Amino acid sequence: MKKLIARVKQRRKNWEVCLRNMDLKRKKAFTKLLLEWHRNENHRVMPWKGIRDPYRIWLAETILQQTRVEQGWAYYERFVQAFPTLADLAVAPEEHIFRLWQGLGYYNRCRNLLHTARELVSHHGGLFPRSYEQLLTLKGIGPYTAAAIASFAFDLPHAVVDGNVLRVLSRYFGWEQPIDTSEGKRLYSSLANELISRESPGAYNQAIMDLGATICRPRVPLCGQCPLARCCKAFEQGKAEQLPVKVSRRTIRQRYFHYLVIWYEDRIVLQRRENKDIWRGLYEFPLLEADAPGGAELLHHAAWKNLLPDEDWILKSISDRQQQLTHQRIYARFFAVETSRPPAVLAHQILVHRHQLTLYAFPGIIIQYLRDGQGRLF
């Protein structure tokens, strides 16, 4: 067994050595052509581009994790306006930050943002550490973000590896190694760190991502305009659109949410999602989840006994909404109820006036519901 593992390791090593030597000319050309294009023809403009302040770089990169530039743009500008410095962010109330993040998704990013801001202020003198390894230890900062801060703010030669980079490298070098495995990540990352310009790491990192976003696009790459096409293996073999290779496919889970929208005069009951699940930290109505859609009989469910005791309430409407997430499809049914007695809220629930609803952050499906007039708001 040990022998076998040793042999696999040796073979992997040989493969890497082979790759390293194989494309020497191609590699040299890559960095040179990329930087030339960046200097002369890259006209992409974004509010965070060229910034050296590690705080704003961190903010931008965090917002942009798995998020399209166009989508994150306005969020970044609102955050910079509300929290111009790290110190401003560190003292902000969590509710305020979540409200600004509302609608952006992946809410753990938001939680980690605040956590790390406070960590930096209380344990690092309000300064970002100036090394890649130190940056990596901070919550919410992984290999990509650490490399971005290290290179853009501190001129350190650490290559960013994001979706753009993986695509550009896979195509340029014609690698069919899948990009979504540990093995693949290791190989592409090591290649990227070989290629990065030692003189201007920040410019190199910016350039490769801009090229991936504007020319070497996921679908319909603009090889005709690409400055690297003449050295690009995928272009040479006419398989740019077939790369990069991915192996993983995920199944989509279906979930059925039943929300109790209980109005008492102009107030409504809300609760905050706390479990390890989607939308943690956002607010919603009292919820019953089931394996299938349920009817009005749910109003007599034990979990809602405190809010709907006997006959002091009336059902006003039932309405359905859907929300498609990347890995889940949410079917939500809203039961709107009016009550004449103040509901007995549990410890985790709050009674909020409708004019105060804008103070809370909600999942998209709740926003949908409130906006449609069913909730008398937005």
Partner DNA sequence: AACGCGGGGCT
Partner DNA sequence: AGCCCAGCGTT
Q: Which stretch binds DNA (CB under 7 A): 26-34, 81-89, 133-141, 369-377?
A: 133-141
| Three-class secondary structure of residue 173 per DSSP | coil
Question: Strand pairing of 328-339 and 313-324?
Answer: antiparallel
Residue 119 Cβ vs DNA, minimum distance, rounded to whole Å: 11
Q: What is the DSSP string of 177-218?
A: S-SSSHHHHHHHHHHHHHHS-SS-HHHHHHHHHHHHHHTS-S
Q: Kindly state whether residue 163 participates in binding DNA, applying the rule CB under 7 A.
A: yes
Residue 39 Cβ vs DNA, minimum distance, rounded to whole Å: 16
Q: Kindly state whether residue 210 participates in binding DNA, applying the rule CB under 7 A.
A: yes
- Contact predicate 368/320, CB 8 Å: no
Q: Kindly state whether residue 104 participates in binding DNA, applying the rule CB under 7 A.
A: yes
Radius of gyration, alpha carbons of the chain: 26
**Of the two residues 46 and 345, which places its CB atom closer to DNA in the complex?**
46
Residue 343 Cβ vs DNA, minimum distance, rounded to whole Å: 26
Member of 35, 86, 114, 141 binding DNA (CB under 7 A): 141
Within positions 175 to 194, which residues make up the interface with DNA, using CB under 7 A?
A: 181-183
Q: Kindly state whether residue 284 participates in binding DNA, applying the rule CB under 7 A.
A: no
For the chain, the distance separating the N- and C-terminal CA atoms, rounded to the nearest angstrom, is 64
Establish whether 311 is a catalytic residue: no
Give the dihedral sign, CA 201/203/207/213: positive
> How many residues interact with DNA (rule CB under 7 A)?
62
Within positions 287 to 316, which residues make up the interface with DNA, using CB under 7 A?
A: none
Burial class for 283, CB neighbours closer than 10 Å (0-12, 13-18, 19+): buried
Q: Kindly state whether residue 328 participates in binding DNA, applying the rule CB under 7 A.
A: yes
Token output for 232? 């690009």
State the binding string over 213-252 for DNA (x if CB under 7 A, else -): x----xxx-------------------------x-xxx--
Residue 300 Cβ vs DNA, minimum distance, rounded to whole Å: 28
Active-site annotation, residues: 61
